[in-house]
Amino acid sequence: MDYFAQQLINGLVLGSIYGLIAIGYTMVYGIVGMINFAHGDIFMIGGFIALITFLILVSFGLTAIPLILLVVLLVSMAITALYGWTVERIAYRPLRHSFRLAPMLSAIGMSFVLTNYSQVAQGARVKPVPPIITGGYTLHEGAEGFVVQLSNIQIIVVITTIVLLALFTWLVSNTRLGRDMRACEQDQTMASLLGVDVDRTISMTFVIGAALAAVAGMMYLLYYGLVDFFMGFVAGIKAFTAAVLGGIGSLPGAMLGGLLIGLIETLWSAYFSVEYKDVAAFSILIVVLIFLPTGLLGRPEVEKV
Amino acid sequence: MDGRVSAPPAVQTSRAPGAAFILKKALISAFVALVLFSLMIGVRTEAGPQGQLVYWTRFDDLAIMVAAVFGGSILVELLRQWWGPVDTIRVVPPSVQTALAVARRGIAPVLLVFTFLVPVLFYDERYILDLAILVLTYVMLGWGLNVVVGLAGLLDLGYVAFYAVGAYSYALLATNFGLSFWVCLPLAGILAAFWGVLLGFPVLRLRGDYLAIVTLAFGEIIRLVIINWQTLTGGPNGVTGIPRPTLFGIPLTPADDGLAALLGIEFSPTHRIVFLFYIILALALLTNWVTIRLRRLPLGRAWEALREDEVACRALGINTTTTKLTAFATGALFGGLAGAFFATRQGFISPESFTFHESALVLAIVVLGGMGSQLGVALAALAMIGGFELFRGLDQYRMLVFGMAMVLLMIWRPRGLIGHRAPTVFLKHSQAISSDLVKEGHG
């Protein structure tokens, strides 16, 4: 039981990270209707920028951990958001009214560009960082000496995710930008006729998605203590799987899917085999889609003939 | 079309912009580049001797990159002005048009004859022969995937799975049971087709991007199983010692019972390369021939109808289940055959050869080839693989260039290098809207 509880905590933390990335996929899909294949790499860039900012701050003699974390978070969110904006501007906007496969291939190309850009710029080797946040709480001490632990970093990841999610839900439901985004999602032409700046709204969607991915990248860096240029691919596929599992286009669905994928992966590694954890995650995706072809919370697509 | 409504304002104002406009745009680009590259290029991190991360600055590289973006932005803007607005209709003189039409009709036979002559022309150039075999492998893969994506309109991001199934089927059958290449080739194809049907079943109800992610997941599952099922597949170490193909049981070796000895000519390793070249050429042409024949059968027509509109297709009484499954199976069959060839050519296979990158490459070939055009796919394969080889010297920049080329080609020709998909049969008149204007048939 203790072992299960510990795995549950680990799974929820991993799921939060996936959920943050999945939101970027689901938002872009909702508005533009394309798979942003480069999103996983945006997450990786976010991790790199967090790492570099952290190194610079530490070498300047800054020691207050909360201050460092805040600055790292803001810098990586800002710069990564600009990456998201640039990617949309260069690779997707010219293809917005093209046929469906074109932006997707352009996105795959962009993903190759970003992966190899960071390989060329920062080298191929894994970049380890020493644990920045240490300590934690012991929740329960089992009879056989097994302890259920909740580390501070896990608390930070979960709290950050909840805060961001609340902020983001508020943004989508209560602000002008959120209203514009929902309008564009329903009908871009009509929205533009009613005075919504469609280009700007779509750009902002990419910017917000990239900023959330940057947070996920930083959390990944803090939690696992390493980044490398290839981590965007696997994390990206998992997060996209999460978005599809939850029902693509649905924001709560993305978070739910992320948590589920995180839990499946962790529990499978704990009870069966570590090697096949990704196979388990993908198989469950396929099984779910057989019975619920639009995901868990997705709306069925209306067919117009 | 809603295309013009939200066109970026830059296009409209760039009809007669002055130097100030160009300069302003370039400055903005340079500023964006400065922010983007500031940390990623301006600072380099590396694990130091004690495992502690160290960093050093590279402001000279940063300056070069920002200057390059500034200059590039001016250049692009000038080019755009020189070219004029995008939507201008350019009138091509009739003489040029007829010449182009003749060239278009003549290019396929000329290319085919040339391909047949490649081993004769470049007999001594091992590198060109190897490259030609590689290109033909991708031509075959492209034609195979074309059945699924180009004809049936089913977006498959995991095509490499069938390539892997074919390669491992041959490798394992040959190394474990000593079966020959010619026995294993059809077996590998059938096994791959079987996996195609297996993938087809769960995705029957899925459309568009759901289909894309499930096929992608399927490709990854196959790869992960190959990596982890070490007792069967050898895991990351792969399978070695895969036998070479024989000519009716005669090996192409310097041994006494080899082909060279039987014919009484001097042995040369090039014989095997030429033999492999003609095998893959035959396999590719078989793929092409089968596809062209299938397009004329009711099945092929059903694929095209499915691509154009699934709902209408069902309304007309076409069985979408069998149509989709046969498309997956046919595509997978050719992927499996290509995989078996790949295994016998390399003599060694490992899971590294079957990553998502391969699927993306083949999909790019199909889309660049114009989705459904057989000649287009062949030319796109030549351009992509040939181009990829040209940049071999660039080493780690190669993938960077490849990715950029993919983005630029998509922006430049979103519907492929030559031609575009058009149904084989359609109403010659009174068509209110062409199929181009309709949204894709939702996978």
ipTM: 0.85
**Contact assignment for A99 to B440 by CB distance below 8 Å:** yes
Chain B CB contacts of A240 below 8 Å: 213
B422 touches chain A (CB under 8 A): no
What are the beta bridge partners of residue B43? B57
pLDDT at B338: 95
Q: Which residues of B touch A98 (CB under 8 A)?
A: 410, 414-415
CB A56 to CB B55 under 8 A? yes
Cβ(A226)–Cβ(A128) below 8 Å? yes
Chain B nearest CA to A241, separation (Å): 7
Question: Cβ–Cβ of B45/A305 closer than 8 Å?
Answer: no
- Residue A219 · residue A72 · CB < 8 Å: no
B129 near B280, Cβ under 8 Å? no
Determine the residue of chain A that is closest to B201 in CA distance. Answer: A290
Contacts of A103 (CB under 8 A, 6+ apart): A32, A34, A91, A92, A95, A96, B410
**One digit per residue, pLDDT tens: chain B, 443 residues?**
344 444 444 444 445 567 888 888 899 999 999 988 988 888 888 877 777 788 888 888 899 999 999 999 999 888 888 876 655 555 667 777 777 777 777 788 888 888 888 888 888 888 889 899 999 999 999 999 999 988 888 888 899 999 999 999 999 999 888 888 888 999 999 999 999 998 888 877 777 777 888 888 889 899 999 999 888 888 888 888 888 887 777 777 777 777 777 777 777 778 888 889 999 999 999 999 999 899 889 998 899 888 888 888 888 898 888 899 999 999 999 999 999 999 999 889 999 889 888 898 899 888 888 777 888 889 889 988 888 888 777 777 888 888 888 888 888 877 776 655 555 665 555 445 555 555 554 43
Start-end ranges of CATH 1.10.3470 in chain B?
Answer: 125-412
Residues 66-125 of A with CB under 8 A from B: 75, 79, 82-83, 86, 90-91, 93-106, 108-125
B chain contacts of residue A110, beta-carbon cutoff 8 Å: 403, 407
What is the Cα–Cα distance from B441 to A101, expressed in whole angstroms? Answer: 12
Name residue B90's beta-bridge partners.
none
Query: Which candidate from B32, B39, B407 shows the least CB-CB separation from A109?
Result: B407
At the top level of CATH, the class of B125-412 is mainly alpha
Question: Which residue of chain B has the CA closest to A100?
Answer: B440
Half-sphere exposure of B355 (CA within 13 A, CB side): 7
Per-residue pLDDT tens digits of chain A, which is 305 residues long: 778 888 899 999 999 999 999 998 888 888 888 888 899 999 999 999 999 999 899 888 877 888 999 999 999 999 999 999 999 999 998 888 777 778 888 998 999 999 999 988 888 888 888 787 777 787 777 767 677 888 888 999 999 999 988 898 899 889 999 999 989 888 888 999 998 999 999 999 999 999 999 999 999 999 988 898 888 988 888 898 898 888 888 888 899 999 999 999 999 998 888 888 888 888 888 888 778 877 888 776 655 54
H or E stretch covering A147: strand A147-151
Distance between B263 CA and the closest CA of chain A, angstroms: 49
CA distances from A255 to A41, A160, A164, A185, A235 (A): 19, 13, 12, 19, 15
Kindly determine whether residue A102 and residue B367, on different chains, have CB atoms separated by under 8 Å: yes
According to the model, what pLDDT value does residue B442 have? 41
Specify the pLDDT at position B341: 94
**CB under 8 Å to A180, separation ≥6 — which residues?**
A191, A196, A197, A201
Q: Which of A41, A45, A52 to mutate to test the interface with B (most CBs of B within 10 A)?
A: A52
Contact B320, B310 (CB under 8 A): yes
- Name which of A182, A118, A141 is nearest A1 in CA terms: A141
Nearest residue of A to residue B401, measured between CA atoms: A113
Asked if A285's CB is within 8 angstroms of B213's CB, the reply is: yes
**pTM of the predicted model as reported, rounded to 2 decimal places:** 0.86
Residues from chain B contacting residue A40 (CB–CB below 8 Å): none
Q: What is the pLDDT of residue B95?
A: 77
